[in-house]
Homo-oligomer: A and B are copies of this chain.
Amino acid sequence: MDVTRTLARYVVASRFEQIPAATRHHATRTFVNWLGCAIGGSQHEALDIAIAALGPMAGSAQATVLGRSERLDILHTALLNGISSHMFDFDDTHLKTVIHPAGPVCSAILALAEHQPVSGEDFVHALVLGVEVECRIGNSVYPNHYDTGWHITGTTGVFGAAAACGRLLGLNEQQMVWALGIAATQASGLREMFGTMCKPFHPGNAAKNGLMAALLAQKNFTSSDRGIEAPRGFAHVLSTKFDPQEITARLGETFEIDLNTYKPFACGIVIHPIIDACIQLRNEHGLTGEEIAAVTAHVHPLVLELTGKKTPQTGLEGKFSVYHSAAVGIIHGAAGEREYSDAVVRDPKVIALRDKVTATRDDSMHEDQTLVEIRLVDGRVLGKRVENAIGSLARPLSDADIEAKFRGLASDVLPQEQVERVLGLAWKVAALAEAGQIAAAAARAG
């Protein structure tokens, strides 16, 4: 079975009209969510470092580093925007494989779209196809590949970026086969790097290397014809499981981007049901925090294992504290990047409420479930049970939620008027004559 060729043929032959309207809208949601994350993450020290280190080697000002004033060549820009977008671990998640699909694909195609004219339709189409390629390859090797220690966003992302860019570059079938092969032989990224700047580096590097693969293939740089499925190809070398059907079955009939999800909260997914319950209670009862005597959350065992930090001292530690997370849910009605700043973690009002939170292990809970009970000073007890946290496939974020998340992230970086302009462009990306204008619109004044 020529898996690589089958995939290449599909990517080359697909027509935009074959993408269902709902899938196109999913792609737009993925793009808006990604763009907000990239702008929001753009001020991180890791970006300053990468630009200081690599800027002197970069090419001409072809593309925009989102949320910043620098313009670099498209390869470096793809790297940098990919880093930004995964900086807060707040980007999209393909829950079946824990791939963060947009980082590698959007970072690559948006940079490319500033270098050559790309219509909004072609952009959305390439995004759908890129995500399809990376997630199908992910499905074929998951979970063994991930369990071995590979950061699957990096290893499969390079294929997604290559396919999407290859599509925009007009590769023929053989060139697309080569692009996937050149991607295969660059597949990399270790889970050992989690907790360091190398984690967000992975989707950035996948974007850059996938774009490079497509550029090389466009000029007929040769590669294996069976980069994915050969005995010494990607799947067998990097995984103990390979199910080629996951790549080829119903290709063009189902769309993995339909299964993409968006985090409402800037922390590990296990705390999401608890925050969700707290925000619901807050909004239903107009809570501010002072009226509360105690908060008890009945939680899946993983919550205490992963996020049991009682007295976090920094924003980053706050992300690993179910106590802090519950407190900001009630006081701020949100748990975005801002609620995990050092300042909020050290806010006496937040600390006072945090210290009233108890989390109780409940083995009957599944990972997406919780029951939160709040006892008020006046003796009343309020309760909220969550069966599926907001942001899950069962309870996806609304477009308005994604917009609110975008504003929360981008308005720390860009003036409000500019945030609204970029947001407006991003929602109507499929209708634009040139998708690249969105990147230029998201630059920060120099």
Contacts and interface: CB of A to CB of B under 8 A. Distances in A.
A233 interface: yes
Contacts of A184: 190, 192
A309 interface: no
Given A190-B232, A227-B190, A197 B222 contact: yes
A232 B191 contact: yes
A49 B149 contact: no
B57 A59 contact: yes
A394 interface: no
A18 interface: no
A58 B46 contact: no
A377 B314 CA distance: 89
A198 to B, nearest CB: 5
A282 interface: no
Interface stretch (A7-15, A212-220, A284-292, A401-409): A212-220
A94 interface: no
Q: How many copies does the complex hold?
A: 2
B59 A192 contact: no
A224 B198 contact: yes
Nearest to A237: B149
Nearest to A58: B59
A366 to B, nearest CB: 27
Interface in A114-161: 148-151, 154
B149 A215 contact: no
A343 B201 CA distance: 48
Nearest to A220: B49
A1 interface: no
A198 B219 contact: no
A172 interface: no
B197 A221 contact: yes
Nearest to A147: B232
A187 interface: yes
A386 interface: no
Nearest to A48: B219
B54 A215 contact: yes
B186 A237 contact: no
B181 A185 contact: no
Contact of A237 (B74, B75, B148, B231): B148
A232 B149 contact: yes
Given A58-B59, A190-B185, A232-B190, A196 B216 contact: no
A330 B54 CA distance: 52
Given A54-B75, A149-B233, A186-B205, 19 more contacts: A49-B219, A50-B221, A53-B221, A57-B59, A57-B73, A59-B73, A182-B198, A182-B201, A185-B190, A185-B202, A186-B189, A190-B227, A190-B234, A191-B232, A192-B230, A192-B231, A193-B227, A196-B223, A197-B223
Interface of A: 46, 49-50, 52-54, 56-59, 62, 73-75, 148-151, 154, 181-182, 184-193, 196-198, 201-202, 205, 212, 215-216, 218-224, 226-227, 230-234, 236-237
Nearest 4 Cβ contacts at the A-B interface: A149-B232, A149-B237, A192-B232, A57-B73
22 contacts: A53-B216, A53-B218, A54-B212, A56-B59, A57-B62, A59-B73, A148-B237, A181-B196, A182-B201, A185-B189, A185-B193, A186-B188, A186-B205, A187-B188, A188-B188, A190-B224, A190-B232, A192-B233, A196-B223, A196-B224, A197-B221, A198-B221
